[in-house]
Structure 1
Amino acid sequence: MNISRVINTISIIVGGVLALYAQSQADSNPYVLIGGVSLLMFGIYRTSRNIPSKYDKPEESFVKTENEHEV
């Protein structure tokens, strides 16, 4: 597992825990909530940046072309 995946995973987990912690308090600190959500979104963005698009590969056709030898 490379270091980039570790950073992404840690930032998602820590950001989620901070956001949940800030929401569970009666007198919640908005800065902790903003920091947790920002860290969570940072990790999700870095993770999604490495996932390839389904439109990057060439489309496969179900129709096969005829060879000149078969005609």
Structure 2
Amino acid sequence: MITYNVLIPDNKQQFFQEFLELIGANYEKNNEEFFISDEQKKILDERLKEDKTNFVSARESLSQLRKKHGV
């Protein structure tokens, strides 16, 4: 099974829902939008200023998690 996350224009919502029902798809309607607070933006901006040699790569981070939690 494949999952898609799509944004549908308001004027096409009914058509899209009918299409999903026609093909027998399971769907969940979600009207929530994702926002980052000013505090979160500030933290991200501060992180961007840090020395990149101190960063841990995604691969290394996953490796550390596997060792620590047996994932």
Q: TM-score, normalised by structure 2?
A: 0.24
Task: State the TM-score, normalized to the length of structure 1.
Answer: 0.24
Higher RCO, 1 or 2 (CA under 8 Å, sep at least 6)? 1
Higher helix share: 1
